[in-house]
Amino acid sequence: MPQGEDPSLLAQAERIARDFDILPDQVRSVTRHFVAQLKDGLANARPWQLPSYVQSIPTGAEKGEFLAVDLGGSNCRICLVNLKGDSTFEVAQSKHSVPPSLMVSSSHRPLFDFIAQRLHEFLEKRTDLADQLPYSLGFTFSFTCEQTSLASGRLIHWDKGWDIPDALGRDPCVMLQDAIDRQGVPIRVTVLANDSVGTLLTRSYMSGPKISTLAAMIFGTGTNAAYVEKLSNVRRLSTTAADTGIMVMNTEWGCLDDKMEVLPRTPFDDELDASSTDPGSQMLEKRVSGLYLGELLRLAIVQLHRLRVFTMELDKKSPVFRRDSIDSSFISKLATASAEGAIDLVEDVLSAKNTAPDDAQAIQLIASSIARRAARLAGASLAALIIQSGRLQTSHARSISLVHKVEEPRRMEISSSTSAQRFCQSLGLLWQRILKFVGMNPITRKPRGCISSQQAQMSRDNYTDQGTIDIGADGSLIEFYPTFETEMRAALRDVTEIGVAGEQRVRVHLTKDGSGVGAALMAQAASQMGKNG
């Protein structure tokens, strides 16, 4: 500990929290750098800005039943999606945890055999599909692939803790089809989808023909985004100025700034990266996604434990001393916990004893700073995407009608990243606890429609004049962390090109089941192309 530094627990926690601050100037630097990288990826073959070969977006009129496999994080979902043709759909699904031995393996075959077996079991239980042979399937594969067509691609990078070396360079659709054929299941893999691309398509289908969806973001185990780009800008495909269509781009923004030119860093970030399965890569993802936020908090708790500033006692078998043992859901729960509730959470999750109020408060403070930085980096990344799209300069005729499409904006507090405003946030938490004590519940669940900030309450006439920037979103962080959207919007306002006026035009919609339904939508499009071709 540096000489003269306050040795108290809360002072040390405040110092760590300050290390995670990302101020407005840093937000603007990140956005500028990301815009430059997005442009570079459009012009050159990079592991980001990957064309999805999706060149139209749904209108809501699409119909049919399609199978989808959604593989990402640590789960595999098998979905049967019924597209109703009126911007609505029904999903029957089964969800399976992927065994860790299949996520890190020398061979790809056990993983794909596992998926094929789950598909076989799913179909055996669905007697209503017997007359639809063979079934068309969309495969959402949430890892970095360079697509060569709507139905094929090449795996170029594992992330989120996965590592199967012999799969690199192979086509995920071929690997899955081979496994399906070994099972003897009547399924044809017809499209390769990405989770963010799928979520964009799902949001577009749900919004109908009157609202033009620009992008979709994922903030779950990993993070990624997709958006609609002018085809003429995608020069890595040798397009020309005469190309007037669109291309949905899979940004793979988790790997932006892997050279660490502008991203913030702390000793905890460096330690996490060094012990990861892919050191030196996915540096934005390691600061934003749910897979890593709990580990950053664990490393900070370990440091405080080494300084012997905690009152609480930690057993040697505590999760604090095991890598990747703290889930990001712990951070979300701490954000709304009362003082007493935080103590209970700490003792339950960390297997701690004799936890003092200061112990829980210190952990809450650090957890909130880690989540705040993640949300502000998400906002800086979204700002770069909006700027690159050119949507700020246009109103887009499809985006002006909000009737029956958008719920009234929810009032949310405006956030910042300074220590002074952390004090204000603490006062807000104290007020929440007072309300709880007198029997009132200050916590309101997020609506499934728009996510807004206090400053974003504009009249519908104003939106008609300016045009909505419609965004789909999915993932546990944006769904369950109570101020993630608020902090993200604060960062948007910090970016000069966006500002308050631009941020007010942004509408973010929680788009559940987006990746699976999106894969089904792509399968529907592929089937139509087959009929027309």
Spell out the SS3 assignment of 164-223. Answer: CHHHCCCCHHHHHHHHHHHHCCCEEEEEEECHHHHHHHHHHHHHCCCCCEEEEEEECCCE
Q: Give the model's pLDDT for residue 136.
A: 86
Residue 158 CA from chain centroid, whole number = 16
Quick check: helix, strand or coil at residue 234? coil
Q: Give the model's pLDDT for residue 430.
A: 45
Specify the residue for token string 């112990």: 359
Q: Residue 364's closest CA among 304, 288, 444? A: 304
pLDDT along the chain (533 residues), means of 10: 72 97 98 98 94 92 92 88 94 93 95 95 76 81 88 89 93 96 92 92 93 95 95 83 81 96 98 94 96 97 96 94 95 96 97 97 98 98 97 58 31 36 45 41 34 35 60 95 97 98 96 88 81 53
Quick check: helix, strand or coil at residue 108? coil
Question: What fold does the segment set 63-201+515-532 form as a domain?
Answer: Nucleotidyltransferase; domain 5 (3.30.420)
Q: Residue 337's closest CA among 326, 324, 346? A: 346
Q: Give the model's pLDDT for residue 436.
A: 41
Q: Give the model's pLDDT for residue 4.
A: 56
Task: Judge whether 24 and 499 are in contact, CB under 8 Å.
Answer: no
318: alpha, beta or left, given left = phi > 0 and alpha = psi -120 to 50?
Answer: beta
Burial 150-185 (b: 16+ CB within 10 A, else e): bbbbebebbbbbbebeebeebbbbebbbbbbeebeb
Q: Where are the alpha helices (DSSP H) in 448-494?
A: 460-466, 476-480, 484-494
d(CA 470, CA 81): 24
Q: Give the model's pLDDT for residue 312.
A: 97
Q: Give the model's pLDDT for residue 128.
A: 63
Q: Give the model's pLDDT for residue 394.
A: 67
d(CA 392, CA 386): 7
Q: How many CA atoms are closer than 13 Å to the CA of 282, on its beta-carbon side?
A: 27
Q: Residue 213's closest CA among 424, 454, 511? A: 511
Q: Give the model's pLDDT for residue 407.
A: 32
Task: Judge whether 398 and 392 are in contact, CB under 8 Å.
Answer: no
> CA end-to-end span of the chain, whole Å?
70
Q: Where are the alpha helices (DSSP H) in 275-338?
A: 285-288, 290-306, 328-336
Q: Give the model's pLDDT for residue 239.
A: 58
**One-letter identity of residue 295:** E
Going by the DSSP 8-state scheme, the letter that residue 522 receives in this structure is H
